[in-house]
Structure 1
Amino acid sequence: MNRIEIGKALAQARKEKQLTQREVQKLTNINKSTLSEIENGKFTGSLDILERYAHYLDYELAVVPRASSKSRLPRWDEVNELFSEDS
């Protein structure tokens, strides 16, 4: 996910909660121009601020491997093999 996608997701979450940026500003102590930058994908500031906004909207920031990464989810037979040793 890039900054624009994160911003769109957070803006959508805020709107679904029927909150204005001004209301969020008062409740999170994040200034309105920063909220606008986040929602428009232009925020380059502190991760703490982005995390505070995300948490307020019941979102969690996470680092996950890219789909194109060599990391992959295990196949079903690999998962079964891992847990078969427990039985």
Structure 2
Amino acid sequence: MSNKKAKESDNNMELHLHDCRMKIGETIREIREKKGYNQEQLADIMNVSRTTVSKIENGKFNFSIDYLSKFSWFLDFNISIVNNKK
């Protein structure tokens, strides 16, 4: 693969990852609000900082599958609802 194509592929992957983080964050925020929690309450339940919850909800935190699993457990949602594949 040429350097140009490799760079384009990397850029496309970064855009995809950003879109996924945004979609997941939006989904978590919507579910949190429907459950009646504020960010501080959810942070306390999950044993993370409110800043971490905020960053995740705003797509600014590169979190692991472990975080996603914790959110899905505590907020009781299926991880498949955050699928962003086009």
Q: Same fold (TM over 0.5)?
A: yes
Larger Rg: 1
| Greater length-normalized contact order (CA 8 Å, ≥ 6 residues apart) | 2
Which one has the bigger helix percentage?
Answer: 2
**1:31 pairs with one of 49, 61, 76:** 49
1:48-87 equivalences under 5 Å are 48-62=66-80, 66-67=85-86
The answer to whether the Cα contact below 8 Å between 1:51 and 1:60 also exists between their aligned partners in 2 is: no
TM-score computed with the length of structure 2 as normaliser: 0.65
- 1:45/1:17 CA distance change after superposition, 3 Å: same
The answer to whether the Cα contact below 8 Å between 2:39 and 2:50 also exists between their aligned partners in 1 is: yes
Instruction: Give me the CA root mean square deviation.
Output: 2.3
The answer to whether the Cα contact below 8 Å between 1:6 and 1:41 also exists between their aligned partners in 2 is: yes
Aligned residues: 67
The gaps in structure 2 that reach 5 residues or longer are 1-18
The percentage of aligned residue pairs carrying the same residue is 31
- Divergent runs of 4+, >6 A: none
The whole-number CA distance in structure 1 between the counterparts of 2:85 and 2:37 is: 32
TM-score computed with the length of structure 1 as normaliser: 0.64
- 1:45/1:19 CA distance change after superposition, 3 Å: same
3-state SS in 1 of match to 2:79: coil
Tell me the CA shift for residue 47 of structure 1. 2.0
Tell me the CA shift for residue 12 of structure 1. 0.6
The answer to whether the Cα contact below 8 Å between 1:38 and 1:50 also exists between their aligned partners in 2 is: no
